[in-house]
Amino acid sequence: MKASVENLTKRFGPVEAIKNLTATFKSGELIALLGPSGCGKSTMLNMLSGIIPVTEGKVYFDDKDVTELPPQKRNVGLVFQNYALYPHMSVLDNICFPLAVKRVPRKEMLAKAEEMAKLVHVADLMKRKPSELSGGQQQRVAIARALIKSPSFLLLDEPLSNLDAKLRVEMREEIRRIQRESGVTTIFVTHDQEEASSIADSIMLLKDGVVQQYDSVRALYDEPANLFVAEFLGAPAINQLKGSFGPAGFLAEGASAPIAIGADLAFSGNAVLAIRPESLLVNRGAEKFRATVVDRYLAGKDALVVVDYAGQRLRAFIDSELQVKAGDEVGLALRERGVFLFDQASGERLL
């Protein structure tokens, strides 16, 4: 089932959490609502589930207007950040709860619970109480409970932020697998761009209640709509050079010579040149400018150098075999991909 929102607005007193938002969540996709805290992503999720009422606008599930329906009648599966498993019930009773309140016959309910438990790999924990489970296991049970009534949507609010780093990677792959196997349209909220990028089909990036970009993960990374999107995605973060753009190219603040890019761009004025660390080539390719190495370090399998260019710092991935050390002067080239120019004032993408 697909969901769409039309001119959705949510106000908490004078604060506008969501501003006139229109979007469609495609059927069968795994969609991440991403953004910094306070961007309205959880508010958005809670309006989809019906937990909080909308101020203005409409929410549709397929073509049905569900704006006024309470959560009980929306048939959505919800997973909370702290899982909210009922502490007095066993795992089995927790998973069965949504069917029990529908007065589904016991035999059918148990069969369905078994199926769900197998899907999320908790079949051997059915007799336990939530307090006897690890965080990851509680998460799995919460997902099983959300899925047992065959919901139209699975909504997860910061599902991984209560888990430790190792478990987080494991569980996000599990969420991906469970979503694939069940085929349910899934929307999850996260503030972690890596989490969103690694499992989502598409990402809706929000800031101050406004969608910055809503597209596939690849598109957000390769074709960011504005500086905020370019900044938010990618680790290490995208390099930013402040300066001005004119007919001769981009002149960084404090630099003596311009960098020749964007030959046929009509813009002139203050701009930001943003370069992904993997698109900044050290001592390779056609040299655009020179800079001094400040530091180099290992980040997992990769090596990174930090260079100083006219007083501004840039990071670049290098071949770990490459012999450069602090103080060396290196030539820098730019890749075709992963290099963007933004208007400094508006953050708008120019190139």
Partner 1 sequence: MRRTAVKNDERITLATFLQPAAYLTPFMLGILIFTVYPFINVVLISFREDYKVLSREFSGYGLGNYARVFADPTFINALKNTAIFVAAVVPAATVISLLIAVLLNSKIKLQGLFQTAFFMPMVTSVTAVGLVWRWLFNFDYGLINYLLSLFDVGAINWLNDPRYAIYSLIIYGTWSMLPFTIIILLAGLQNINPQFDVAAKADGASPLDIFFRITVPLLAPTIGLVIIVNMISASKVFMELFPLFGGKPGPAYSLYTVIYYMYEQFYVKWRLGPAAASAMILFLIVLVFTLIQLLLQRKWKNY
Q: Does 130 bind partner 1 (CB under 8 A)?
A: yes
Considering the complex, what minimum distance in angstroms separates the CB of residue 131 from partner 1?
6
CB of 210 to partner 1, least distance (A): 27
- Measured on CA atoms in the order 83, 86, 92, 93, is the torsion positive or negative? negative
Is residue 61 at the binding interface for partner 1, with CB under 8 A as the rule?
no
Phi-psi region of 329 (alpha: psi -120 to 50; beta: other; left: phi over 0): beta
One of 78, 217, 229, 238 touching partner 1 (CB under 8 A)? 78
Q: Which CB atom, from 79 or from 291, has the smaller least distance to partner 1?
A: 79
190 contributes a contact to partner 1 by CB under 8 A: no
Q: Which of 37, 72, 256, 323 binds partner 1 (CB under 8 A)?
A: 72
Give me the least distance between CB of 84 and partner 1, in Å please: 4
Which position among 51, 237, 310, 333 is part of the footprint of partner 1 (CB under 8 A)? 51
Q: Does 100 bind partner 1 (CB under 8 A)?
A: yes
Q: Which of 43, 49, 185, 193: binder of partner 1 (CB under 8 A)?
A: 49
Nearer to partner 1 by C-beta: 116 or 252? 116
Binds partner 1 by CB under 8 A, chosen from 12, 86, 267, 297: 86
- Alpha carbon distance 172, 181 (integer Å): 14
User: Which two tokens mark 36?
Assistant: 């910094």
Q: How far is the CB of 97 from partner 1 (least distance, A)?
A: 5
Which among 107-115, 145-153, 255-263, 321-329 is the span making contact with partner 1, rule CB under 8 A?
A: 145-153
268-327 binders of partner 1 (CB under 8 A)? none
Interface with partner 1 (CB under 8 A), residue from 35, 40, 98, 262:
98
Per CB under 8 A, does 88 bind partner 1?
yes
3-state secondary structure the chain: CCEEEEEEEEEECCEEEEEEEEEEECCCCEEEEECCCCCCHHHHHHHHHCCCCCCEEEEEECCEECCCCCHHHCCEEEECCCCCCCCCCCHHHHHHHHHHCCCCCHHHHHHHHHHHHHHHCCHHHCCCCHHHCCHHHHHHHHHHHHHCCCCCEEEEECCCCCCCHHHHHHHHHHHHHHHHHHCCEEEEEECCHHHHHHHCCEEEEEECCEEEEEEEHHHHHHCCCEHHHHHHCCCCCCEEEEEEEECCEEEECCCCCCECCCCCCCCCEEEEEEECHHHEEECCCCCCEEEEEEEEEEECCEEEEEEEECCEEEEEEECCCCCCCCCCEEEEEECCCCEEEEECCCCEECC
* Span near partner 1 by CB under 8 A; candidates 6-14, 70-78, 111-119, 259-267: 70-78
**Partners of residue 23 on adjacent β-strands:** 5
CA-atom Rg of the chain in angstroms: 24
191 binds partner 1 (CB under 8 A): no
Q: Which is nearer to partner 1, 99 or 281 (CB)?
A: 99
| Region of 80-88, 219-227, 230-238, 282-290 interacting with partner 1 (CB under 8 A) | 80-88
| Residue 52 tokens, joined | 């909080």
- Give the residue with the Cβ less far from partner 1, 44 or 238: 44
* Residue 3 in tokens: 């969901």
| Count of residues that bind partner 1 according to CB under 8 A | 26
Of 112, 149, 168, 296, the residue at the interface with partner 1 (CB under 8 A) is 149
75 touches partner 1 by CB under 8 A: yes
Residues lying near partner 1 in the complex (CB under 8 A) are found at 49, 51, 70-72, 75-78, 80, 82, 84, 86-88, 97-98, 100-102, 129-131, 145-146, 149
